[in-house]
Amino acid sequence: MQVILPPAMLGILGGGQLGRMFVSAAKRMGYRVTVLDPDAQAPAAEFADVHLCAAYNDAEALRTLAASCAAITTEFENVNADAMRELAKTTRVSPSGDCVAIAQDRIAEKAWVNKAGLPTAPYLAIESVEDIQVELAPYLPGILKTARLGYDGKGQVRVNSADEARAAYANLGGQACVLEKMLDLKLEVSAIVTRVSPEQLSVFPVAENIHKNGILDESIVPARIAPALAAQAQQMARQLAEALDYVGVLAVEFFVLADDSLVINEIAPRPHNSGHYTIDACVSDQYQQQVRAMCGLLPGRTDLLSPVVMVNLLGDVWQADGGEPNWNVLMEAPNAHLHLYGKKHARPGRKMGHYTVLATDVDAALEQARALKETL
């Protein structure tokens, strides 16, 4: 495969915080970047060379993107996979529209995970009302999740009985869903793999993820699990990337069950919130990897340089009148790094930024990270 070198123009579908960090990595390496995002204030736009402010399915904007970029990627899974397949006729696109189509649909995603020989929670695919008229006991108590467009715990309803499940399905308007058995989680971890070709593949250290209200709150790296279990998660992520013939950065979320077995929760065809720590704590970060993969370059080394804790900053930490948190406390901590996404309006639950704390061990990093949060 021909490599793409700076100062080539790279394109990205989506201009949120993941796009912003991608643009920042690409620009540092000397590439130019075009961002397609309908939001005039998209976080990535202020760093980009070109902002195509248009809908993701805008034919003219897509033509411009294809004509002006040497390679195109995405920062989120809810793009039109057909548009990506269309772009791929004339431009290098990674990950493929086919892989994005799988990751954007929980039914296809779980089927693929199982097809790759990997475990998911017991689940029932519900594409029409007939599908839910079966014995539901194997999936109860469970979580009903919309097959598409869910994120940060949105589009999910916890159900305890068959009646509740059927009522919740009707409430969601009869859209395609999965009913998933609620598992007893010991903890949650993620592994992020970069795959350029079958020979060129690397995996970041496994992160331990703590969620609050269905939204990632903290990532702790290395995860506080046995090294053999972490190695197994990395191996499963590799196996999945291989099965999908994936090109790009693929994030894999796992559940660790009481018996220390691993179950795949979901995948994301892009860098992941739980991989933000790589910017401050690894030899290469997940956004550089995205650039490298789309340009046909070798994946960078993924070694962890220091134990690290990442804390998400949601709009909730802003003051009710929109006043900024007390950033001074983070600025005065010499082993902390603040990252803000440039979003103008703080809303509860909205991802506004994150910070990392690097220390000699994760317990110290976690203690300090939590103490800092208290004083923001």
Task: Collapse the DSSP code of 222 into the 3-class scheme (helix H, G, I; strand E, B; otherwise coil) and give the result.
Answer: coil
Find the part of the chain contacting ligand ADP (CB under 6 A) among 72-80, 83-91, 174-182, 282-290: 174-182
Tell me phi and psi for residue 193, to 5 degrees: -110, 145
Q: Is 208 in the site for ligand ADP (CB under 6 A)?
A: no
Using an 8 Å Cβ cutoff, are 236 and 304 in contact?
no
What is the closest distance, in whole angstroms, from the C-beta atom of residue 120 to ligand ADP in the complex? 9
How do strand 50-52 and strand 32-36 relate by DSSP bridges? parallel
**Residues near 259 by beta carbon (within 8 Å), at least 6 away in sequence:** none
Q: Where are the alpha helices (DSSP H) in the chain?
A: 17-28, 59-68, 81-87, 97-103, 106-115, 162-171, 227-243, 277-281, 286-294, 328-331, 362-375
CB of 106 to ligand ADP, least distance (A): 8
Determine if 182 is a binding residue for ligand ADP (CB under 6 A).
yes
Nearest CB to ligand ADP, comparing residues 85 and 148: 148
Residues 223-262 that bind ligand ADP (CB under 6 A): 253
Interface region with ligand ADP, contact rule CB under 6 A, candidates 151-159, 193-201, 277-285, 309-317: 151-159
Considering only 79, 83, 103, 143, the residue that binds ligand ADP (CB under 6 A) is 143
Supply the minimum distance, in Å, between the C-beta of residue 180 and ligand ADP. Answer: 4
Among 6, 38, 119, 214, contact with ligand ADP (rule: CB under 6 A):
214
Minimum Å gap between C-beta 11 and ligand ADP is 25
Q: How far is the CB of 86 from ligand ADP (least distance, A)?
A: 26
Of 9 and 236, the one with the shorter C-beta distance to ligand ADP is 236
Nearer Cβ to ligand ADP (81/121): 121
Q: Which residue is nearest to ligand ADP (CB)?
A: 183
Region from 76-84, 176-184, 305-313, 322-330 binding ligand ADP, contact rule CB under 6 A = 176-184
Measure the CA–CA gap between 223 and 308, rounded to whole angstroms.
Answer: 10
For residue 125, give the nearest of 178, 78, 176 by alpha carbon.
Answer: 178
Q: Is 342 in the site for ligand ADP (CB under 6 A)?
A: no
50 vs 183 by CB, closer to ligand ADP:
183
Restricting to residues 85-124, which ones interact with ligand ADP according to CB under 6 A?
121
3-class secondary structure, 235: helix
Distance between first and last Cα of the chain = 48
Sign of CA dihedral 67, 69, 71, 75: negative
Q: Is 223 left (phi over 0), alpha (psi -120 to 50) or beta?
A: beta
User: What single DSSP character describes residue 278?
Assistant: H
CB of 76 to ligand ADP, least distance (A): 12
Q: Is 265 in the site for ligand ADP (CB under 6 A)?
A: yes
What does residue 158 show for φ and ψ, rounded to 5 degrees?
A: -80, 130
Query: Which residues would be at the binding site for ligand ADP (CB under 6 A)?
Result: 121, 143, 145, 150-153, 180-183, 185, 188, 211, 214, 253, 265-266
